[in-house]
Amino acid sequence: MADSAALDRVITAPLSSVTAGTATHCPYCALQCGMMLNQDRDGAWSVSARDFPTNKGGLCRKGWTSAALLDHPERLTTPLVRDSKGGPLRPASWDEALDRIVAGIQRIQSAHGANAMAVFGGGGLTNEKAYLLGKFARLALRTGNIDYNGRFCMASAAAAGLRAFGVDRGLPFPLEDIPGAETILIAGSNPAETMPPIMQYFEAQRARGGKLIVSDPRRTATAKLADLHLALTPGTDAALANGILNAAIHAKLIDPIFIDERTTGWPATRRSVASYWPDRVERLTGVPARDIERAAHMLGEAATAMILSGRGPEQQSQGTNNALAFINLALALGQAGRKHCGWGCMTGQGNGQGGREHGQKNDQLPGYRKLDDPGHRAAVARVWGVDPDTLPMPGMPAVAMLRSLGQPGGVQGLLVAASNLVVSAPDAASLSARLSGLDMFVALDLFLTETSSLADIVLPVPQWAEEGGTMTNLEGRVIQRVQARTPPPGVWSEPRILSELASRLGCTAAFPSEPAEVFTELRRASAGGVADYAGMAPDRLAARDGLFWPCPDESHPGTPRLFLDRFGHPDGRARFHPVERRLSAEEPDDAYPLYLTTGRVLTHYQSGAQTRRVAELQDAEPAAFVELHPDAARPLGIRPGMLVQVSTRRGSVTLAARVTADIRRDTLFVPFHWGDASNANLLTIDAVDPISRMPELKICAARIAVAPAEAAPVAAS
């Protein structure tokens, strides 16, 4: 739970006195804070702050405690296998484990075809590992079925950015531009808890007289800092953005010169928002019309303004349209393509940006090339030394892939790397059953998580401090992760594992296993693509605190600001897209009268597989909970701390109640960092956005009641 003391600590922590150690980066979020990893004379590891452009010496509680996992007693250090389905996992040699995997792949593909094997990656993998995972799927497995958990994080914003700007980069400008924005709208993101060191940029913006608007159904730690909080009904983000744009048009706040010179599609968009007058939008969103008009004036009267989007509007079955509606607002106000302004997305995972740039997304090849584009296929095939026609076409995106597990004509074997799917994916009970029923399920992991504990074969892999490589943060800044220690005996790196498996499968393409060699190949494969890393020699990355892509040659300085001269479409113009508000896949009704939304808390990260193993973090927030408004609690006899049962059409979870006026009366909030009986995704729906294929993790219909004494999570009938 966020508290002011904790937030002060992470934002204002001074630089520690740095002992001899390794300059590296935090293993958690996309801010990729710089830090030092130190070892004392007794062999104990600790972290100290260092001055890096993203965090400027600040670290959050997760960063400060990140060394606690390096020698954790639950660390996996040997392969594990099962002798029979449902039998116990037992230690095995690497030869036995790899032989079993190869035999399983060959058995499955012989019976069901190449696409019956699938790969699922993670947004925490280095660029090198994400690149090799995509290459392994397409060359060694010959499958089109590869995707990653960024599909649950950035997919809607990425789809919107590509449509509007022709380029998908989380922030098309550096963090240093934030303080120069006179007004900032943060839509559905809570950086004060999810990436606290970034708040120093917003503090600097406020110190200069800047204004902050936050749209969120909850009065989060970030919303409490805002000049204006727009507490919208879940699922009405597009209506809110359209309403602000409507008010801006009527107040003559739009920028006709920018629209005429640098965009296309404005007339249709202007017509589409004509019916979203503030009084009507108040009825749709619950946001007072006067606040909608005030937001329009705060943004439209500012010389420079930013709109920053988060998972709130994006993790919906209308997530792409939500993001496009906010982009329309930025474009109409002329707040794009200049310094200190623009639309951007607050990427969450450590390498959520780089993870989708280089091939582990189902439809992409390295450098943001498209798998179904003949020219793009040919460019990458040349680097890989293969015929372009041998590359598979795009397979299923994540949710469709997971729905198909074990089904006729679907995926029969799965390899998962760096993803705790059972906690992070929607409709978790159904997914767990499908994973358990696969012909072969292989997991590469640090610990036995809720997901890897279901696998038939588990392979131990290095932690962040035990590997080198590169990461790409939310700004598009490519940074080096420096190896600070060797992995424990018995642990193999993912590149070594993939190289060995490819060889045993008879794949003749080269699979380098050293990060530096992989990055050299990645640079070649990305050359000429949108995300061009060709000029990012490792010594340049180290000397310049990273480089922003595109960086096409070694004389190029990198590109911190993408759109100063032109947008990414061939004509150089940004695109408006008319957006109508659509209902969510599941709206409240008499049986389930409340909205359920999910999110993060200050002390935990993603599925909690790491942070729940750090004593300081687990002690600070030991269990999941549900937030509800006093007006929702009172009629049901719910008091603070009481055990309650939250139910949806998919299942029920028993949690402690937190009664707070900082949430809408019609909304429940459950954090998603816990598994097993506290798994928030036992409740969520696997409906997806038709464009991005992102699941609707932020909205479903729910009910709440005092828990019966014997209550436990159950699957819905």
CATH of the domain at 291: 3.40.228.10
* 75 inside domain: no
Residue of 689, 701, 699, 700 whose CA lies nearest to 154: 689
Look up the domain containing 327 and give its range.
160-345
* 572 inside domain: no
Backbone region of residue 86 per phi and psi (left: phi > 0; alpha: psi in -120 to 50; beta: other values)? left
Q: Which two tokens stand for residue 681?
A: 């995704």
From 312, 345, 378, give the residue that closes a domain: 345
CATH code: domain of residue 358: 3.40.50.740
Q: Residue 20: its pLDDT value, please? A: 59
Query: What whole-number distance in Å separates Cα of residue 491 and Cα of residue 493?
Result: 7
From 524, 548, 572, give the residue that closes a domain: 548
* 357 inside domain: yes
CATH code: domain of residue 11: 2.20.25.90
Whether residue 293 is found in the same domain as residue 324: yes
* 410 inside domain: yes
Whether residue 482 is found in the same domain as residue 461: yes
Whether residue 183 is found in the same domain as residue 91: no
Q: Residue 710: its pLDDT value, please? A: 62
Residue type, 251: A
* 503 inside domain: yes
Whether residue 208 is found in the same domain as residue 241: yes
Whether residue 219 is found in the same domain as residue 328: yes
Residues forming beta bridges with residue 91, ordered by sequence position: 80
Its pTM stands at 0.94
* 558 inside domain: no
Give burial (CB, 10 Å; 0-12/13-18/19+) of 44. Answer: exposed
Whether residue 382 is found in the same domain as residue 520: yes
Whether residue 177 is found in the same domain as residue 300: yes
* 568 inside domain: no
Q: At what angle do helices 4-12 and 199-207 cross, to 10 degrees?
A: 90
Number of domains in the chain: 4
Whether residue 112 is found in the same domain as residue 174: no
Whether residue 86 is found in the same domain as residue 65: no
CA–CA distances in Å: residue 563 to residues 250, 306, 497, 577: 28, 14, 40, 18
Whether residue 146 is found in the same domain as residue 225: no
Q: Residue 713: its pLDDT value, please? A: 43
Whether residue 377 is found in the same domain as residue 447: yes
> Could you list the mean pLDDT of each consecutive 10-residue stretch along the chain, which spans 717 residues?
40 40 94 94 92 94 96 96 95 98 98 98 95 98 96 92 96 97 97 96 97 98 98 98 98 98 98 98 98 98 97 95 98 96 90 89 95 97 97 97 97 97 94 97 97 98 95 96 94 97 97 96 97 96 92 97 96 98 96 97 94 95 97 97 97 97 98 94 96 96 91 42
Q: Residue 709: its pLDDT value, please? A: 76
CA–CA distances in Å: residue 578 to residues 157, 251, 252: 16, 20, 20
Query: What whole-number distance in Å separates Cα of residue 397 and Cα of residue 362?
Result: 6
* 20 inside domain: yes
CATH code: domain of residue 606: 2.40.40.20
From 325, 345, 365, give the residue that closes a domain: 345
Whether residue 187 is found in the same domain as residue 316: yes
Q: Residue 36: its pLDDT value, please? A: 95
